[in-house]
Amino acid sequence: MASEITYAELKFKNASPAPVVEVPPETKKHEHHPQKYPPWLPWLISLLLLLVCIALVVVLLVVSRSHSSTQPTVLQQKFTEWQCILAVSQGKEQGWTCCPKGWKRFQESCYYLSEDMMRWAESVQNCTGMGSHLVVINSKAEQAFLTKELPQSPTRANYYIGLHAQEVGKWRWVDQTPFNEEGAFWRQDEPSNVAVEMCVVIHTISEIRNWNDVRCEHHYRICEAVAVTLMEQPSS
């Protein structure tokens, strides 16, 4: 009698996954596993990128400063002939302090004494156009130097300085330097402090106190600019 085979479908609750059949080493297929990196590697890469960014910023700053320092000033662009004296800094560096030809030098400044007369506003523009400004007097030594350098005129000509007022008695320097009344060099009984005299000049007289407030009309002028310093390159 032939044996009879019966098939049945069975469902098991909470059945465990089918067992994994181990393949013998010789029959196991080669599988590609992604390479694992140490957990600190992303942090290292981020740190390196940050350092590179910082280095780029530093380089850009240095380059921009070097370009700005080598750019000629307006004073240098306006004049081609210069007079220089040898100067040695406190750091023992040797260089040259230069002023445009025809200008007067005192300490670290250059001064232009005009030979023509202009009104106040035109005088301001003329000095600015040369890369300078109407002179700002900061010390007794500077005042004495200018008084000595002014040509002695029998008509006692007036030279504008950079001091003026927009309100009577409220004097201001053109470069916004605070006005110090104790450091002023007014002539006796000056300033008049009247509404029609809002500009200040130096009289061409020998006394060190020779400032006077005047009408802002045609006068000579004194322009001032920072002297140009040229440092010698060290020999290789």
pLDDT in tens, 221-236: 999 999 998 876 655 5
**Domains in the chain: how many in total?**
1
pLDDT for res 33: 55
Q: What is the mean pLDDT of residues 157-168?
A: 95
Is 21 part of a structural domain of the chain?
A: no
Is 85 part of a structural domain of the chain?
A: no
Report DSSP state, residue 186. B
HSE at residue 107, side-chain half, CA atoms within 13 A, is 10
CA distances from 43 to 169, 172, 194 (A): 67, 59, 73
Identify whether the C-beta of residue 150 lies closer than 8 Å to the C-beta of residue 204. yes
Name the percent of the chain lying above pLDDT 70: 72
Q: Helix count (H) and strand count (E) of the chain?
A: 4, 11
pLDDT for res 64: 38
Buried b / exposed e across 156-166, counting CB within 10 Å, b at 16+? Answer: ebbbbbbbbbe
Name the percent of the chain lying above pLDDT 90: 53
Is 132 part of a structural domain of the chain?
A: yes
Tabulate helix, strand, coil % of the chain (nearest 5).
25, 25, 50
**In this predicted model, what pLDDT tens digit does every residue of 103-156 receive, in sequence order?**
999 999 999 999 999 999 999 999 999 999 999 999 999 999 999 998 876 667
CA 107/CA 225 separation, integer angstroms: 11
Is 195 part of a structural domain of the chain?
A: yes
CA 98/CA 226 separation, integer angstroms: 9
Q: Domain range holding 122?
A: 112-222
Is 84 part of a structural domain of the chain?
A: no
Tokens 């002297």 correspond to 227
Is 69 part of a structural domain of the chain?
A: no
CA 65/CA 67 separation, integer angstroms: 5
Write the CATH number for 164: 3.10.100.10
CA 212/CA 195 separation, integer angstroms: 14
For residue 68, pLDDT beyond 50: no
pLDDT for res 63: 41
For residue 9, pLDDT beyond 90: no
Is 123 part of a structural domain of the chain?
A: yes
Identify whether the C-beta of residue 133 lies closer than 8 Å to the C-beta of residue 73. no
Nearest to 103 by CA among 76, 143, 141: 76
Q: What is the mean pLDDT of the chain?
A: 80
Identify whether the C-beta of residue 175 lies closer than 8 Å to the C-beta of residue 188. no
pLDDT for res 4: 44
CA 216/CA 166 separation, integer angstroms: 12
Is 26 part of a structural domain of the chain?
A: no
